[in-house]
Amino acid sequence: RAKEMGKNRCVRFDASMNLAVVRRQAIEQALRAELEQGTGLALHYQPVFAANDQSMVGAEALLRWTHAELGSVSPLEAVSVAEDCGLIAPLGYWVMRTACRDAAQWKGGKSLRVAVNISARQLGDPQFLERVMDILREEGLPAHLLEIELTETVLMENMEAGAHTLHRLSQLGIHLAIDDFGTGYSSLAYLRQLPMRRLKIDRSFVKDLPGQEHSRAIVTAIVALAHSLGLQVTAEGVETQEQADYLVRQGCDVLQGYVFARPMPAPQFLALQASASA
Ligand code: C2E
Ligand code: MG
Ligand code: MG
Ligand code: MG
């Protein structure tokens, strides 16, 4: 009886394992084809706003991919597969180039900064610095209008090799931000050693504001820490006006979230700028 159950369980486990493996293989194949033909990949841009006057100060580039058979594949899944099967370099540089090319068109009277997410393997690429500089030059985007977002995990996995690259990027004028701040491993050492410009408070801490005491305490502490180190603070995942008001009162510098704007295709983002500056 027990043996039978064990066997059944084992079969079920294998079956779901296979499903996951099959899906990843399908994603790998589709991604490979996509990167050669370049049709289904897109970037959407989510505007970010200055807390003091609600003016738009830039946008975060977010990968979107809808495939005929696979449907829409989330950026986290696409990036994870790409990292495992050696496609992160072409995918990551496609994202970087597309974001810089689009942002070079964002004039609207004022300079808007584009934020690009970087995965662990990308930062580990010894060519990274050179490739980014080439892309900025070729696409005509000034370095100070590019912000690179790294999570604590990405920093942790690249502490030695990455530190040099990050210092050079910063010296060249590129802004560096820690994404999803507070959800990874202790970040205080990074804050002291790395030339960061911004902390992005993870949405999990914003979600229960202003009601939940612990979330309030964490947000207050992150803002105080950031400001005393001379860093700016962005709050992400702001979904209600009440959250926005609270975050402004706490001294957050930049706000991002569905209550202001959702990620949108590039042409729509351009249209938004035109209407904002009119
Ligand atoms: P992230 O960098 O923390 O990006 C913010 C995520 O929060 C985005 O999810 C965005 O759509 C979502 N978001 C923004 N405002 C709100 C809100 O008010 N409420 C809620 N519930 N969500 C909000 P998305 O686009 O699904 O991306 C998920 C993650 O995938 C990103 O998190 C980032 O870590 C990764 N990612 C996205 N694009 C890229 C990329 O081009 N390269 C790399 N390496 N990673 C990427
Ligand atoms: Mg991000
Ligand atoms: Mg984030
Ligand atoms: Mg996040």
Q: What is the pLDDT of residue 187?
A: 67
The mean per-residue pLDDT over the stretch 123-131 comes to 94
3-class DSSP state for residue 207? coil
Residues 6+ apart with CB under 8 A from 120: 83, 153, 154, 157, 158
Residues 6+ apart with CB under 8 A from 97: 135, 138, 139
The mean per-residue pLDDT over the stretch 98-117 comes to 89
Q: What ipTM, to 2 d.p.?
A: 0.98
| Mean pLDDT rounded to a whole number for the chain | 90
47 lines ligand 1 (CB under 6 A): no
Q: How far is the CA of 160 from the centre of ligand 2 (A)?
A: 22
pLDDT tens-place string over residues 156-189: 888 787 899 999 999 999 999 999 998 887 668 7
Tokens encoding 157: 């996995």
Q: What is the pLDDT of residue 38?
A: 72
Looking at the predicted structure, is the pLDDT value of residue 3 above 50?
no
125 lines ligand 1 (CB under 6 A): no
